[in-house]
Structure 1
Amino acid sequence: MSEYIKITETPSLYNDLEMLDTKDILLNINKEDQKVALAVKRVIPEIELLVDGLEERFLHGGRLFYIGAGTSGRLGILDASEIPPTFGMPHERVVGLIAGGDSAIRKAVEFAEDDRSQAWKDLLEHKINDKDVLVGIAASGTTPYVLGGLGEARKNGVLTAGITNNPGSPLAQLADIPIAVDVGPEFLTGSTRMKSGTSQKLVLNMITTAWMIRIGRVKGNKMVNMQLSNTKLVDRGTRYLMEGLKLPYKEAEKLLLQYGSVKKAMDALK
């Protein structure tokens, strides 16, 4: 493994943080956060490649898998868990896996990320295959759990992408599609839950939202396939139908509950 400079470990641009008052701490964190969206903008071409790859493979039954450890793993699981209620997708089409298993979502599992062979074992439990896409997430770009999973996936014909905050890292070099977001040093040196984690969340939002739009899970600018899992979402869906079909509230609500989704109700009436 070649040596390279880990941007995520470089010293903060700020010093003597304990001497700052609360307002200055917050202003400086915000100043750093403003750099994140611009850093993400620079990797949009790579994100585009991934979205197009996902669209193509989805049409042939492919799925999206995320693997990561710590903050990165939790962000992948968060994104995966939000796709079914937001877009009405089956849970098994977007799967998030974290080093250490589900217990690591809430509490760190010591040294779980250092097991290079475990990710592929976890993925095999889901019968990953060459129709699928695997996205490894690691701010450092060196997490063994992630590198091991991506390496085996590539050997087996799976399209791979790597979301990292260190250009030139092992993850960036290994992935078919490297998405290396250079956000610079963290406000708190090495605390990648901050700018690095924020950039990962932005990229994940872009990947799955663009993908769901491309495969027809959105109409106009509306979430027409969302699950009706609470009163707020039933009300939102009802208002979508009111607007789209020019119906009074009660009639729109009745149709929504009858068909189970905005899209199904609209298709039935058309």
Structure 2
Amino acid sequence: MVRGSQTDEIPLYQDRDAIEIDDKRWDEIELSFSRELSETAPHKHLGDSTPRFTQPHGEYLYARLKAVQTYCEEEYDNLATVWLSLTAKEKVGGKWVHPRRHDDGFRSNSVKQALYRVRKRLDVEDWAGMWLMTPRKTGYSHKHYAFWLDVPDYGCRKLQGAFHPVIDAHVRNHPTATSDGNPYDKAIQVREGEECRTLPGEIAHNLPEVGPATDVRNLTQEWAFARIWCAFYWYDDRIRQYELGKFGDIAEEAKPEGEWKFGVGRVEE
């Protein structure tokens, strides 16, 4: 997540009069979001009813990440991790792109198909992954993919090159994505050996309720834009992360029976 403050001179959504969601201003949506959290999440542990964007939900997500990391370290003979970062312009011709249109552009079937072809070319059978949407300092979205792969010893350079078509598919299909904004060396990060252990922390840093704020209800000025983004996702009921491959099976098998609900069973570093 890219953090920002109100000193960045980036107008908040509620100051962007030309952009509305269902005839609602952004300050109205943010106010409703705050009221919802206050009414439904007053306590640290609410079991399965804990809503998104709160600390208990963040702890639940992080426990699943750590469970997958531990499993892959122990079971994969040639573990490599891949971290993809996809971005797109937020302004065209000096005007803000509508956030719905901008966010929709990251949900391309072409990228999904390109990822499938990469796995086939690499002959990957055992893998786990997830995608997640996360806010930029402007309150607009960008997207990450995280993968744990059991692959032959290709080397990081060859693996990095294998994912070039995925970035190309994103640039071709997102209305405001550009090659300059998605250079291969920054959009594709491949790690092997001990460096693979950094992936859960990198994912967690892009989940607002797992970062330094720990709970969207307690966001500071520094995280103001993340709160606005969370309000948009809450209001529009958007999916912001999705587990791929064997991720769900691994995490569920590691879950202590009767104990690991939202906000329970956090796996510490």
Give the TM-score normalised by structure 1: 0.26
Higher percent of residues as helix: 1
Larger Rg: 1
Higher relative contact order by CA 8 Å / sep ≥ 6: 1 or 2? Answer: 2
